[in-house]
Amino acid sequence: MSRSSAPLVIAIDGPSGSGKSSVSRAVATRLGLAFLDTGAMFRALTWWCLERGLDLHDEAAVAQAARELPLTMVTEPQAPGVAVDGTDVGAAIRESRISEQVSAVATNLEVRAELRRRQREIIAECRDRVGGVVAEGRDITTVVAPDADVRVLLYASEEARLRRRAKELHGHAEAEAVAATHAQVVHRDRKDSTVSSFMEAAEGVTTVDTSDLDFEQSVEAVLEVVAATVGTRA
């Protein structure tokens, strides 16, 4: 689909394994927008805290680390990047040790406030520099960018989410891989839901259920929401 030259901010929310990151990147590429993975910011902070030997349950220390975090986010959708103090951590933040501990950081309310501030700054900068952004993560549609032009909750059944994450982590979705993935996905969603709402759409947010959709169908479904919403506002 094509879009007008007017700035466009698209916020995509949803639980783990719903396809937020991959679908958001594809949508940003199709529309010529920047891409912001806000979850990567929490992962980067988790990585930095662990590198510095901080106790992730020391909320004050982690909050101070968030304020000092020398973070650089590359928002090119075809080659997104994350750097901390000049070090590329794009691969490191996807390691299991980060996935297993990031919730301790993500549920820290002072951390969330600081990273929300940074996320809004990046969204505003992308809107002014390249004409818009697709920002994805937890509570993007309700807290970080409630005034986004398009707000989507990308949802999938627990079974579908576990299957996708198992393929991502283990290369297949056999029973043992799904079982190994269950704790990571379900436990994290349960913990994160104590500080953000991402399982049900808020008022004005459109739900796209990807449970029975493949990747391309999921991308097209979101693009259809964008077209319908922007067309309504035109």
Q: Name the binding residues for ATP.
A: 14-22
**Which residues lie across from 81 on neighbouring strands?**
74
Please name the residue that has the structure tokens 């919730």. 103
> Which H or E element spans position 112?
helix 109-130
Spell out the long-range contacts of 202-205 with Cβ–Cβ below 8 A and sequence spacing 24 or more.
202/141, 202/142, 202/151, 202/153, 204/151, 205/13, 205/141, 205/142, 205/151, 205/152, 205/153
Q: Tell me how far apart the alpha carbons of residues 135 and 11 are, in angstroms, rounded to a whole number.
A: 5
| Helix axes of 20-31 and 215-233: crossing angle, nearest 10 degrees | 50
**Which residues are part of a known binding site?**
14-22
Q: Is 212 helix (H, G, I), strand (E, B) or coil?
A: coil
